[in-house]
Amino acid sequence: MSEEKEPMNHTMKLIIAVVGVFAAGFLMVGENKQKSKAEIEAASMIRNYAAIQGMANQKCPVAIQAETGEQVFFPTRVDTDKETYITLIWEGENTGSGGFKKASCTLKGTLGGISELIVDDRVIIKK
């Protein structure tokens, strides 16, 4: 009879140990999820900049193509304060065949859209 209890005790000890490891793991994860105010602010700024940049990469090429008839892909230069605005600048590739020389598109996060579009020194949009 004591032989039957012995394996049960080892099994129970193993189960209790596994449950203890899981409990400790959950406590550690819960403790590490609490971020400082600075980390939360930094993450928020990164998300905001990514949103502004994504919106600019989506809206500006469409606006330039609608105005010039040329499709643009990658800007040659980017100007930004990484918080409120981003300006994408493209150099035209087909200037010999009537294409644009330079296009500049500025997007402000507060507007949620294009605030300025300039193609070959002609102001198309100015908000």
Q: Where are the domains of the chain?
A: 35-126
CA distances from 109 to 47, 52, 56 (A): 12, 6, 10
Query: What 3-state DSSP class applies to 90?
Result: strand
Helices (H), the chain: 2-32, 37-68
Q: How confident is the model at residue 7 (pLDDT cuts 50, 70, 90)?
A: low
In the chain, pLDDT over 70 holds for what percent of residues? 91
30-56 confidence digits (pLDDT tens) = 766 677 888 888 888 999 999 999 999
